Amino acid sequence: MRLWLKPSERRPNPEPVETDDRKPLVVGLIAWMLGLIAVVAAPPLFGVELPSMWLWSCIAGIVLGSLGLANAQRRGPR
């Protein structure tokens, strides 16, 4: 077994696969929104105090996911 192949022995590189990144971004945004709803609704329902970091993590996930979705919408499917 050799670790290095000559360029003439190599197979050609495969073509890049076209993907649509918008679908997983939308699923992630929905998950962050559900997390935000749970973090906001938990203290009154269960009488517990949750760390404020959880709230800000959900907000950051929604903001960054929205920016990613806007970028994916601008580029379109690849």
DSSP letters for 5-44? --TTTSPPPPPPPP--THHHHHHHHHHHHHHHHHHHHHHH
pLDDT tens, position by position, 10-40: 888 899 888 889 999 999 999 999 999 999 9
Structural domain count, the chain: 1
**pLDDT-above-70 percentage for the chain:** 96
- Comparison of pLDDT for 32 and 9, the residue scoring more: 32
The pLDDT of residue 52 is above 80: yes
The predicted structure's pLDDT at residue 5: 82
Res 2: pLDDT: 75
CA distances to 2, 12, 18, 52 from 7, rounded to whole Å, are: 13, 10, 27, 56
Q: Is residue 62 in some structural domain?
A: yes
Is the distance from CB of 48 to CB of 42 less than 8 angstroms? yes
* Domain extent for 34: 29-75
- The overall average pLDDT reported for the chain is 90
Is residue 40 in some structural domain? Answer: yes
Residue 12 lies in a domain: no
